[in-house]
Structure 1
């Protein structure tokens, strides 16, 4: 899974014309309320990067979704899935935390700028009076660092965790915690 979280950053090294071919504005604008402001700012200030930015974010999303699918496939086809019945609460806790992180990440990614939680201001816009230093993001390939970090949590890590927890619930071999603890103690001897 860690490899798939690093793959989206490869777009930083791809030529802009390749990324522009992957520009799908429907998907791009659906990802975030703030993306319209990002695209408008880039068209006005750096038009040669505008479509490359759109395509880069779409490619990053596609790579992360593919990573979640591959990870889920390997989790489902694993030969030894174990569900520890005595620790059901831990599974529910993990899934709940993952869902909360997903919701927070989605909200933050869609609105967070140096101007606060705004959908009208781009990450690329300058705000010299800002206290935070999230923006201005450079209008070049380094912008994919920021989008990759948000997308990794929103589109990969948390959904993969929720899917894996559901797979453990549905397909896991039922064991008790004492059975696992006993195996561990015997293995140490």
Structure 2
């Protein structure tokens, strides 16, 4: 027995896929230009031209060139994975499981793109001013998800502190290490253990 799909539903699905392809093309072409000639030297008009769209179309997808780098396409995947985690495990364990699930199945090309995005964000001076806003956004998102997991308010003092610790830890490692499943889970494990920072190998040497 076949099931008929309404024509309007099919058309809407096609439009959404076309929009996603256009958005992806704009980002991929932009990053290619960033690699070839630098972030500052690349204009929105150049990005639009190589992506075969008008500048006005570019602005429908990204309000600024800066936002093109800031947009994190992995957020929805991580949120979905987190919401599938059992409620009887700790928030940190739930986040760890979600990270392993998403990054463990992420195609190599998408992981490389995310690592390049992070490198741009933290090493291009003109983008650093946006990091503060990005951290606030991350804290709000993490607090909302964490609150949902434990059944508390996103404005709860301890929820906000925990969310801030996670966002701050992500910022700290992003500038020095590749964004991959090993480094992220190491960070979450360290936080979950209570930050057991002991003396290093140089301690005690004359």
Same fold per superposition (TM over 0.5): no
TM-score, length basis structure 1: 0.26
Higher relative contact order (CA 8 A, sep 6+): 1
TM-score, normalization: structure 2?
0.25
Which structure has greater strand proportion?
Answer: 1
